[in-house]
Amino acid sequence: MILQVHVQPGASKTGLAGLHGDAVKIRLQAPPVDGKANAELCRFLAGIFQVKRQDVCVISGETSRQKRVRITRPDGLPDAIKMIVQGIQT
């Protein structure tokens, strides 16, 4: 699965924050230095998709707020992301 995300590094806590255009917006507590925000993004997504950390990787946008993330072997979309998408569509 390829997920479009828009990240906001340096937030007070890590979590989902709705949609930003066509991307899922994610606030990250980690600062945008030395790959810390990307590592936090992968850790967070692995947790909500219930996959191993190694199954999540940033495939484009490593130094950008707009990223494409590959999630290997997900069981589907987590309920939290489904709620964000459905809430915007209704």
For residue 53, which of 42, 64, 63 has the smallest C-alpha distance? 42
| pLDDT tens digits, 56-78 | 999 999 999 999 999 999 988 89
Instruction: Please determine, for residue 88, whether its predicted confidence score (pLDDT) is greater than 90.
Output: no
When computed from its CA atoms, the radius of gyration of the chain, rounded to whole angstroms, is 12
pLDDT, the chain, mean: 93
